[in-house]
Amino acid sequence: MQRGTDFDVLIVGGGPAGSACATLLARSGARAAIVEASNFARFRIGETLEASISSVLACLGISLNGVADWGLQSDGVASVWKDSTIQSRPSILNPHGRGWCVDRRAFDRALFENAGAAGVSLFRNSRLRGVDRRAGRWHFSIVSGQAALPATAPIVVEATGRTSKSQFSTHGSRLWLDRLVGLAILCDDTSSFRPSSSALVESAQHGWWYSVFLPGDKGLAIFFTDADLLPPGRSNIAAFLKTQLYMSYQTRERCPFLEDQLNMHCWKTFDARSSIRKIAISQGCVAAGDALMALDPLCGRGVVAALNSGVEIAQWLIGGQPDFRTIPVWMQQATARFNDYLEQRLRIYGVPQNWADAVFWRRRQSSARIDHRRLE
C-alpha cells in the first residue's frame, strides 16, 4: 500500500466543470486533484459551443485559436421550427463573434491537461473506493488499475454529470423536469453528409432533430424525444426514427446517411433530461456542472454553464473558509439562472404549428420555477 496523500480539494470528474474548478484552485496554491473515470477515448456529446465561451476559457489560460485539428469555427445554429422556413441568426450579430464546433473528447482532454499544467494532480481511468468522512476530512482510495493510493481531503467537488450517484452525500436526489433522451447517429463518411458551418435543428411530431458537421470530417445527427415515446425494441425504434426523419425535410436532405444507419440500428442513446440537484452543498461536498444542474441541449449553453459553475465554486473556495451550513451567494445566483433558463426553455419550445396536439410539445408548455430555499 502506498503512503497516503493529503489534498486540499478533491474534484471528481474531469469534464469542463471539474477541470475549470481545479485549474483555478491550483493557481491559488491549493493542492487539488482530479479523479476522472475515463481516458477521453469515447465519443462525447456537446460539441456546439456558443461564442461567449472564449472569455470563460481565457480566464483558464486557454485559446481556441489554432485548434484546427479538433475545433472548427461555427456560424451558429439554423432552425426549421414553427414552419418550413429556415431561420438563421448570423454570427456577425453576436458581440462575442463566431462560435465553435469541437471534438468534445479533445476539448475535455485539453481542459484536463491544462489543469495538470497548473499543478493539479491528475488521475485518469481511475475510481474512488472506501469513501468515509472522519474528523472533518474525507478519506478514500484512488484506484488506478491495480494500484490504490490512500488519500484525504476536507472538501470534495462532485463534477460527475447529470445521472451519476453521489458517493459523498446521502442527499443527492434531483428535481427532474422532463424525460428527454437523445439518439445520436455518427457518420464517418463525409461524402454522405452535406457540410455546413452551421448546426441545424428541425422539429418533428415527437421531438426534434439536430445535425452538425464535426472536426475530423464527420457528421452527427441526433433525434431528441421523450423516453416513454420510444417504442420497445430496436427495430421498432428504427421505424419510429424513420417516420420522424420523413417529417423533417431539411435534415433528410442534409444527412442522406441517416436511413442506412437506422437500417443497421447504429445509434447511441443518452440521457438529456433537464434537472437540478436538490441539495447542492453538504458536509464538505459541493456539486458542480451537470451534477448541479443540467440543461436542455436545445438551449446550447450546457458547456458554458458547466465552465462557469466550476469557476464560481473555485472562487468561493478560494475566497476564505467556506461555510457549508448556509446557502452561498453563488448558489442563489445559480438558482436564478436556472429559473431564467426555464423561462427561455418555455419560449424556445413554442409549439410548432404542425405539432400543436402532439404529446411531446404539449408537455413543454407549462412553466416551472425553483426556489433556492428548497435547495441547500
Q: Across residues 344-355, what is the average pLDDT? A: 79
Q: What CATH number is attached to the domain comprising 235?
A: 3.30.70
**Domain containing 236: what range?**
180-271
Q: Are residues 147 and 220 in the same domain?
A: no
Does residue 198 lie within any of the structural domains? yes
Q: Are residues 247 and 283 in the same domain?
A: no
CA distances 317 to 17, 261, 276, 299, 311, Å, are 14, 47, 21, 29, 10
- The whole-chain average pLDDT of the chain stands at 85
User: Which residues sit opposite 49 in a β-bridge?
Assistant: 100
Q: Are residues 25 and 123 in the same domain?
A: yes
Closest CA to 160 of 47, 266, 285, 258: 285
Q: Give the Cβ contact number of residue 270 at 10 Å.
A: 14
Closest CA to 61 of 27, 38, 87: 27
Q: Are residues 253 and 305 in the same domain?
A: no
Does residue 296 lie within any of the structural domains? yes
Selected residue with higher pLDDT from 85 and 358: 358
Q: Across residues 237-260, what is the average pLDDT? A: 92
Task: Return d(Cα 278, Cα 26) in angstroms, integer.
Answer: 29
pTM of the predicted protein model: 0.89
- C-alpha grid cell, residue 370: 425553483
Selected residue with higher pLDDT from 61 and 86: 61
Predicted pLDDT of residue 370: 59
Closest CA to 81 of 354, 352, 366: 352
Q: Given phi > 0 = left and psi -120 to 50 = alpha, else beta, which region is 217?
A: left
Of the pLDDT bands very low, low, confident and very high (cuts 50, 70, 90), residue 141 is very high
The answer to whether residue 191 scores a pLDDT higher than 70 is no
* Strands laid side by side in the 174-176 sheet: 174-176, 275-277, 293-294
Does residue 58 lie within any of the structural domains? no
Q: Are residues 267 and 289 in the same domain?
A: no
Residue where a domain stops, chosen among 302, 321, 336:
336
Q: Are residues 195 and 263 in the same domain?
A: yes
The values of phi and psi at residue 158, to 5°, are -95, 110
Q: What's the domain count of the chain?
A: 2
Q: Are residues 201 and 170 in the same domain?
A: no
> Around 308, how many Cα atoms within 13 Å sit in the side-chain half-sphere?
16
